[in-house]
Chains A and B, each alone.
Chain A
Amino acid sequence: GAGVSQTPSNKVTEKGKYVELRCDPISGHTALYWYRQSLGQGPEFLIYFQGTGAADDSGLPNDRFFAVRPEGSVSTLKIQRTERGDSAVYLCASSLRGAYNEQFFGPGTRLTVL
């Protein structure tokens, strides 16, 4: 596919469970971003990868959140011991390296924690 894809599109889980959210960036994009978007708000930065390494993970809210990008392409956002406050849309974006380059966003994963 030509765009950024995210799976699943929707995820419903129970409080305390572990979830994984997947992002497939555009081929050749070295930069990858994760954002969290709560209802009625703008996206909030979580973590930024340049290649395989997390260049900036300062947006992760606590140690229950973790993300990996082992081969510099697909990324997985992992949330342990989910809480109701984690319910949001999680957006992934990719771009070429460089702050001016356009970020291409995926459709997001809507996470609902019951």
Chain B
Amino acid sequence: AQTVTQSQPEMSVQEAETVTLSCTYDTSESDYYLFWYKQPPSRQMILVIRQEAYKQQNATENRFSVNFQKAAKSFSLKISDSQLGDAAMYFCAYRSIRDNYGQNFVFGPGTRLSVLP
């Protein structure tokens, strides 16, 4: 079974600075998808960024980018120019490419990010 680990329960960053959230995972599969989701206090989970494992190029979405190291099974999220609205819980998630197995969507325990003005 796949597992996802986020070793930083809490992080803080100064507004306009850059912060990196760590994520590692364990899998025996060679193809899969990785996601970062954001959950603000409203509880609504929002997709931040996703990465296909077979793509070597790191995904980027505006101020958000990832550092995907497949051999190390590492998938960190970098937030540049941090804004107050970035404060939330961030969850790393793994999904098997096999569509019919919903269980193969596994979330990490989350990292609570605080943004200091």
Q: Give the interface of A toward B (CB within 8 A).
A: 31, 33, 35, 40-45, 47-48, 50, 55-56, 58-59, 89, 91, 93, 97-100, 102-103, 105-108
Contacts and interface: CB of A to CB of B under 8 A. Distances in A.
A61 B95 CA distance: 20
Contact of A100 (B46, B50, B102, B106): B50
A42 B103 contact: no
Nearest to A9: B43
A38 to B, nearest CB: 10
A44 B106 CA distance: 7
Contacts of B109: 40-42
Contacts of A48: 101-103
Contacts of B102: 31, 33, 45, 47-48, 55-56, 59
B96 interface: yes
B110 A102 contact: no
**Most chain-B CB neighbours within 10 Å: which of A45, A89, A97?**
A45
Contacts of A40: 109-110
B5 to A, nearest CB: 11
A107 to B, nearest CB: 5
B68 interface: no
Given A99-B95, A99-B96, A102-B47, A58 B103 contact: yes
Given A48-B102, A93-B45, A105-B44, A43 B107 contact: yes
Contact of A103 (B4, B47, B97): B47
Contacts of A89: 43
